[in-house]
Amino acid sequence: MTQAARKIRLVLELRRAGVTDTRVLSAIERVPREIFVPEAFQDQAYENTALPIDCSQTISQPLIVGLMTQMLEPDKKMRVLEIGTGSGYQTAVLCRLFRRVYTIERHRELLKQAEARLAELKCHNVTAQCADGTRGWPEQAPFPRILVTAAAPEMPATLVDQLDEGGIMIVPIGASVSDQWIYKVTRGRGGFKEERMSQVRFVPLVSGEAPAVS
């Protein structure tokens, strides 16, 4: 089966599993996941599974990418803050759905690789930095949308504070990998509303910039 056929099969699988926003499905279809996947896993690029990448991180399962992106309620007029660039795959999906993507990665080598891939795909509406994602991006706050792609042990107050009025944050919460849930946080005039969505399994959200690889 060709990569193109595998991609079509994956998109159909995501639709059946609950990714119903046609804009999100179109964005996923337009992003070549194979360039974000290590050579050893090329045959699994369009399987609905998470895969290992450098720095002991993972590229997320396509279904989780689709569901979390859909929960954000994307809007081409909006900016979005992504915490955890990783391979850049989720970033590439976001750049097709938002006016500008601000993304933070604590592993400098991962960010370098991701930026090269995003440049190859002509994702020119992405601004990235190597930094502590738990601090957010205060110089650019507030954000109408925030997406966190690592699991925080508790609701990250600093990131919540950077959410604009009417804004949405999607964040996995859970101190244990066996008890992590996606939360949708909506900021209204009277405060914050939290909704527990789907159970997931993410790498932990870690503070501080990762040490350089020698």
Torsion of CA 151, 146, 181, 63, to 10 degrees: -100
Euclidean distance between CA atoms 188 and 212, whole angstroms: 40
Q: Name residue 181's amino acid.
A: W
CA–CA gap between residue 68 and residue 66 (Å, rounded): 6
Distances (CA, A) of 185 to 59, 72, 157, 176: 24, 10, 11, 20
CB burial class (10 A; 0-12, 13-18, 19+) of residue 8? middle
- Among 170, 171, 18, 145, smallest CA distance to 76 is for 145
Structure-block tokens of residue 98: 């938002």
Written as one string, the DSSP assignment of 70-96 is HHT---TT-EEEEE--TTSHHHHHHHT
Tell me the C-alpha distance between 90 and 134, whole Å: 18
Q: Hey, which residues are catalytic here?
A: 60
